[in-house]
Amino acid sequence: MTAAVLFQWMLASLPEIIVITGACILLILGQLVRREQLLFWASVAVVLIAALATFLLAGEVRPAYSGMFVADRFAVFFKFVFYLATVLTFLLSRKYADIEGIGSSEYYVMLLFALSGMMIMASATDLLSIYVGLELMVLCTYVLTGFLRHERRSNEAALKYVILGAVSTGIFLYGVSLVYGLTGTTQLDAMAAAVSGDPLDPGLLLAVVFIVAGLVFKVGAVPFHMWVPDVYEGAPTTVTAFMSVGPKAAGFAVILRVFLNPLVAASDVWIIVAVIAVVTAALGSFVALVQDNFKRLLAYSSIAHAGFATFGVVAGGVDGVASVMLYLLIYAFMNLGIFGAVIMMRSGDFSGEVIEDYAGFAKAHPGLALLMLIYLFSLAGIPPTAGFFAKFYVLTALVERGFVFLAVVAVLLSAVAAYFYIRIVMVIYMREPERAFEPALTPFVRATLACTAAGTIGIGLFPEWFLRLAQHSAFGG
């Protein structure tokens, strides 16, 4: 290996290097300086510098580390979703962290490390580098989940998450070892060659099932969804917001890479994905109907959305991949928006976690209520919001591939899901207020809400640019 090659490799992974180095420096800095303001701005700066680097390097495809890693348009797209999620989480955290007393430097450092893990996942082209990224990400989220040290709920959630997460990682690794044993490689491209040759080896099929199980856990799809509501409820709300968007998108990035490259030939596996999509969307939608806790409801809603995005995976092809990518981008905007609204309600001794807490919210704060209305209708997929376009494009991809029946199922389930979103709108608009509201509205929270609202409405009205970007970034496009 020459210095020039090494330089090229480092250049390809420059954004990851920036984030990891920045996180390490911040970790040390946090022990020396006690000024939170500084740490906060420094963490935001790290992400922005990484984003700039990603943008500057986005021009060409850069494979690196002997086929373990690639910086291509697909990865760049996902990295920007991650940056968006992380920066908005930082902005939302500032005040919330003060209220909860979790605003230490580790909090930001953990988020940065999780970000680097997700970035590695998006770029990984080898089962081992996928594993490294995955573990880096989930280890940080384990810790973040338990960040409310004095709350039992938070501790319990973290414990549950660690144990179940470890099991799923074990399953995933077992699948990886089987693949290595059978094909002699862990690289996705080489696997593709092995798979597309003969009819699928039953051992390989088993390996695929294990890998699927490991990945499905990370996006919270059925049957590995059980941890989601508890963890979402127990974690600090800002962390929940982050987890529902960032790691989920990272999980889908890997699923798309694994499935639509090497395993596209293994059509036997396809039916598994279709079944997962249907069952996930159904379970998420139906169970959400009976939730009273807002965070639990959003947890089930995120399961339902994972199911819907999986429909895009089932569709496959350029449009299928692009539809999943666009879906995740739009989901990042609308979900961070609605979580921003929940986080804003946390002020004083009031948690704002129960749906009933929002009764008559529209009377006290018509502007904020309107924002929530926009996010909720977007999550429900009603035009002219972005959520509608996201669903529309997934359905288009499904019908294009001839899965009309699946499209009908998806659409009916989204009608079920609409029920619980408009139920919240009902509580906000059609009930009398029971208490005075004093939302913790800092300029940062305002900025987040403005940004997410702009995304939710803007992509809904003018989807062209984002659609082209997703199609352009999807591999094969």
Partner 1 sequence: MTFPLLSLIVFLPAAGAAVLMCLRNDDAVRWTALGFTVADLALAVAMLAAFDTTTHEMQFTERHPWVPAIGITYALGVDGISALFVFLTALLGWICVLASWVAIDRKVKEFMVALLSMQTLMLGVFSALDLFLFYVCWEAMLIPMYLIIGVWGGDGRVYAAFKFFLYTLAGSLLFLIGVIVLYFHGGRTFDILALSAQDLPFDVQAWLFFAFLIAFAVKVPMVPVHTWLPDAHVQAPTAGSIILAGVLLKMGAYGFLRFSLPMLPEASVYYSTLMLALSALAIVYGGLLALAQDDLKKLVAYSSISHMGFVTMGIFALNLRGLEGGILQMFNHGVTTGALFLFVGVIYERTHTRSIANYGGLMKVAPVYTGFLALFTLSSMALPGTNSFVGELLVLSGSFAANMAVGTAAVLGALLSAAYLLGMYRKVALGPASVGTRYQIRDVNGREIAAIVPLAVFVLWVGLYPKPFLNVIDASVKHLLTEVQGQESGQ
Applying CB under 8 A, which residues contact partner 1? 362, 366, 373, 377, 382-384, 388, 392-393, 395-396, 399-400, 404, 407-408, 411-412, 414-415, 418-419, 422-423, 425-426, 429-430, 463-464, 467-468, 471
**Least distance in Å: CB of 359 to partner 1?**
12
Residue 63 vs 383, nearer CB to partner 1: 383
**Least distance in Å: CB of 450 to partner 1?**
16
**Least distance in Å: CB of 303 to partner 1?**
20
Are 248 and 220 within 8 A, CB to CB? Answer: yes
**Least distance in Å: CB of 307 to partner 1?**
16
Using CA atoms, how far apart are residues 365 and 373, in angstroms rounded to an integer?
12
Residue 25 vs 412, nearer CB to partner 1: 412
Residue 306 vs 382, nearer CB to partner 1: 382
Residue 126 pairs in a beta bridge with 187
**Least distance in Å: CB of 143 to partner 1?**
41
Using CA atoms, how far apart are residues 381 and 395, in angstroms rounded to an integer?
12
What is the DSSP code string of 326-391?
HHHHHHHHHHHHHHHHHHHH-BTTB---BGGGGTTHHHH-HHHHHHHHHHHHHHHT-TTSHHHHHH
CA 409 to chain centre: 24
Using CA atoms, how far apart are residues 384 and 395, in angstroms rounded to an integer?
16
**Least distance in Å: CB of 264 to partner 1?**
21
Residue 201 is given by DSSP the state P
Residue 193 vs 404, nearer CB to partner 1: 404
**Among 197, 166, 167, which Cα is nearest to 182's?**
197
Residue 144 vs 407, nearer CB to partner 1: 407
Are 136 and 218 within 8 A, CB to CB? Answer: no
Q: Which residues contact 265 (CB under 8 A, 6 or more apart)?
A: 192, 195, 196
Distances (CA, A) of 175 to 66, 97, 214, 340: 22, 39, 9, 38
**Least distance in Å: CB of 396 to partner 1?**
5
Are 130 and 121 within 8 A, CB to CB? Answer: yes
**Least distance in Å: CB of 178 to partner 1?**
39
Residue 118 vs 368, nearer CB to partner 1: 368
Residue 153 vs 472, nearer CB to partner 1: 472
**Least distance in Å: CB of 108 to partner 1?**
38
Query: Looking up tokens 């991809």, which residue turns up?
Result: 397
Residue 293's H or E segment, with its range, is none
Residue 63 pairs in a beta bridge with 70
**Among 212, 223, 244, which Cα is nearest to 313's?**
212
**Among 363, 349, 354, which Cα is nearest to 433's?**
363
Using CA atoms, how far apart are residues 41 and 458, in angstroms rounded to an integer?
28
Query: Looking up tokens 């990945």, which residue turns up?
Result: 215
Residue 69 vs 393, nearer CB to partner 1: 393
Residue 265 is given by DSSP the state G
Residue 63 vs 458, nearer CB to partner 1: 458
**Least distance in Å: CB of 287 to partner 1?**
18
Residue 44 vs 399, nearer CB to partner 1: 399
